[in-house]
Structure 1
Amino acid sequence: MFSHLHPQFHKGRILKREMLENLRDYPRHFVDLHFQMYSDGIISGMDVTVDDRHLIIGKGIVKHRGRVYLFEREERLPYTATGHETVLKIRFAEQATLTDFFSYETSYVLDSETAISEDERELGRFKLKEGARLRADYPYFLDLLTEFNTWIFANVEHAGYEQPTLAPAILRYFSYELLKTGTTNAYDLAFAMQGINADRVERNLILHYISSRLGSNYRPGTNLQIVKYLGRILEEAKNGNKPRQEWRASGRQRVIVD
């Protein structure tokens, strides 16, 4: 039997523990149930912008080891040019027991160790040369992977249904560029609509689209491999090299005999 309890607070009534527990538990239970089928990764927000001296990390929601974390304020993190690859990470501390709470602390770090450990999540990376400017604008799609002086977020894992997927910003960029080519391929149009309108596109759908569009067998791939495949599809669409259409228009056909 299920019920919905909403505590009532009246003057002169005793404040009961159960009433406070209801207020405490309901929001957390709602969040946990809503995102229970999501994989670990970024659920919302956590966008990173750059200026001449700082990385600006936006608000957002992240799921890590099954626990949902709310990042409720913007943070600014100074960076320097080292010429070596540097990764922006969220580092999750072990549970700490306080007098009235269990505490799960997090921190942002810039780390020269590019591997991501079990207590970390990546928000992006860069390799900045001395005297150069770090940029986060991309004049063409595969510029997302430019090695030097570019903010790279292709590796970042966003929460998906049971497995992580790519950042929605990457798929929106690809989808808009794909539509600009004037492609009439049915796979292209369907995928572009999904990439523009959906909050996220599931990893399996992306991989199935790539295999269908390129005429290859379905196989898993890393985020970087997926972005490269999408770049190849975009170049083919720009050059007019579209795969043979499987479906033909039905109806009467007219034959002209000379």
Structure 2
Amino acid sequence: MIENKYPIFGNGQVISKEALDLLRDNPAELINLMYLKQQDGIISGFDLITDSENKQVAVTKGIVKCGGKIFWMNNNYNFDMPEIENRYVLKLKLYSDFEERKFYIRNADFSLEILNNENVNIENQENSKNKIGEIEITRFITRTGAELRNDYNNFIDLRRDFNLMELINTKYSSKHELGTLHPKILELFGKDASKKENLDIFDVNFYINCLNGNVERDVIIAYINLKLHLEQENYSNEELYQHLVKILENLGKDREIVEKKRIIPRKITIE
């Protein structure tokens, strides 16, 4: 759970140590200015760590933006791996500021839901009224006897039938309204593409950007349209992933690493 407090200074009110500590530790205006151009989504953190021994998954601390507001989580969030076979989605539901005595409080809660065609959520009226949005963290399909994993071996391995913590539909913050792909997805594409034979200057430039960090959605779309001769301006995360898979296939097989042998010239003796 996330809970961010902002002190309220009213007339005749005694300033408490807690309020002053919050001003010191949570420079809200500075944080808002730092991520002013970022759209809704995960800004940093919220990575997934699986614990097979204890049958738990940890979501690491991080920062998200929703409805123009910044939320930060200072501690990891843990949830138990579901034992019932089904399709699940883990969401972070975010709620607007509400006043409680001397503070404005902004909070968010994780919700593990069964993913179906309608994906109907039943919430109480109070929460629905204050809710400003939700962000998908991961989705997965469970099978009895198997453990949830996040050991992605390569780019193609980001999509499996079951027991994989999927990142494809995770909304990562960028300047684009729809966000961008998770950095882990782009990193795996960059690593796989760098090993291919049929690379042109656009491929090299794109995979270097992928390995360096976040890539804007518009850059990904421009690269896809160039390589696949498409003209669409908007794609879903799922479509972006499928198009990148196609591009990776078109780049051919991995180049062979030829071991260079050092040739030592023979000595010639002249009498």
Coarse TM-score class (shorter-chain normalised): 0.7 to 0.9
The reply on whether 1:161 has 2:149 as its aligned counterpart is: no
Tell me by how many angstroms 1:182 deviates: 3.5
* Cα distance change of structure 1 residues 104 and 23 upon mapping to structure 2, 3 Å threshold: closer
> Equivalents in 2 of 1:172, 1:68: separation in Å?
26
Q: 2:220 aligned to 206, 210, 217, which one?
A: 206
Give deviations 1:158-208, integer Å, cap 9, x for gaps. Answer: 11014211101100110111001134311100001111113x111011000
> Equivalents in 2 of 1:56, 1:97: separation in Å?
30
Same amino acid, percent of matched pairs: 29
* Cα distance change of structure 1 residues 22 and 112 upon mapping to structure 2, 3 Å threshold: closer
Which is further off, 163-172 or 92-101?
Answer: 92-101
Output the amino acid matched with 1:120: E
Give the match for residue 231 of structure 1.
Answer: 245
Secondary structure of the residue that 1:180 maps to in structure 2? Answer: coil
Give the match for residue 62 of structure 1.
Answer: 64
Give deviations 1:112-165, integer Å, cap 9, x for gaps. Answer: 145498632110011101112222112332221223111111100011014211
Give the match for residue 75 of structure 1.
Answer: 77
- 1:142 and 1:228 in contact (8 A); partners too: no
Give the match for residue 45 of structure 1.
Answer: 45
The answer for unaligned runs of 5 or more in structure 2 is 1-14, 122-131, 255-271
Give the match for residue 135 of structure 2.
Answer: 121
User: Aligned ranges for residues 95-244 of structure 1 at < 5 Å?
Assistant: 95-113=97-115, 115=119, 119-163=133-177, 164-198=179-213, 200-239=214-253
Output the amino acid matched with 1:56: A
The reply on whether 1:34 has 2:48 as its aligned counterpart is: no
* Cα distance change of structure 1 residues 50 and 26 upon mapping to structure 2, 3 Å threshold: closer
Count, aligned residues: 221
> Equivalents in 2 of 1:138, 1:191: separation in Å?
21
TM-score of the pair, normalised by structure 1: 0.78
> Equivalents in 2 of 1:132, 1:21: separation in Å?
46
- 1:82 and 1:127 in contact (8 A); partners too: no
Which is further off, 226-235 or 106-115?
Answer: 106-115
RMSD (CA atoms): 2.4
- 2:168 and 2:238 in contact (8 A); partners too: yes
The answer for unaligned runs of 5 or more in structure 1 is 1-14, 241-258
Secondary structure of the residue that 1:157 maps to in structure 2? Answer: coil
TM-score of the pair, normalised by structure 2: 0.75
- 2:171 and 2:180 in contact (8 A); partners too: yes
- 2:93 and 2:134 in contact (8 A); partners too: yes
> Equivalents in 2 of 1:121, 1:237: separation in Å?
34
Q: 1:85 aligned to 80, 87, 90, which one?
A: 87
> Equivalents in 2 of 1:201, 1:56: separation in Å?
26
* Cα distance change of structure 1 residues 162 and 220 upon mapping to structure 2, 3 Å threshold: closer
Secondary structure of the residue that 2:169 maps to in structure 1? Answer: coil
